[in-house]
Amino acid sequence: MPVSPQPESPAASYDTRAGEVQAEISRSRAERFARFTTRSRRAGFTLMELMIAVAVIAILAKIAYPSYSDYMKRAYRASAQGLMLDLANREQQYLLDNRSFLGGSSAVSTLIPSGVPSDVSSYYTVTITATAGPPPTFEVKATPKSGTVVAGETPFTIDQDGNKLPSGKWQGR
């Protein structure tokens, strides 16, 4: 004999319906909260995240800038030293051709007709001092210009015998 379904009591029907409505409300709240949190995460960064990023950048800059500055000083010094070595060689050739070294204010422009390269002339004043002797001598000197990255460094020189002063500056330190 078939069993007919029993009609639910109104109280049980109300309880079931209330539970479904409550579950729907909970789901709706959860979806809204999920949308709110994802939307706000997509909108930008929190203040704490920005502060941490700024702190990290500041620390890196504090470490990197002095190293970069030292690197630039060494690069400018190397350019000037290369020019000084070239001038010393040209002075030796001038001695062979003219039996004296060339000195004075026009010596650099006479030995290098194209002029001092801008990467040297912007940071150093290069001069040549020659004495007639006996024996004839010369000294090529690069003096750092004030107001530049290399300001405050000691001038460096090279003479007719190849003596380079100060020696620490010629060794890349």
**Residue 77 carries which side chain, given as an amino acid letter?**
R
pLDDT of residue 82: 92
C-alpha 127/C-alpha 111 separation (Å) is: 12
Percent above pLDDT 90 for the chain: 35
End-to-end CA, the chain: 107
- Structure confidence at residue 149 (pLDDT): 87
All residue ranges of the chain with pLDDT < 70 are 1-15, 35-42, 172-173
Q: What is the pLDDT of residue 39?
A: 54
Structure tokens that stand for 146 in this block: 């004030």
Token pair recorded at residue 67: 């190293």
Domain edges within the chain: 47-168
CA distance 134 to 140: 18
Q: How far apart are CA 169 and CA 173, in angstroms?
A: 6
pLDDT at 37: 59
Q: Provide the CA 41 distance to its chain's centre, in angstroms.
A: 33
Please report, for the chain, how many H helices and E strands are present, in that order.
Answer: 5, 4
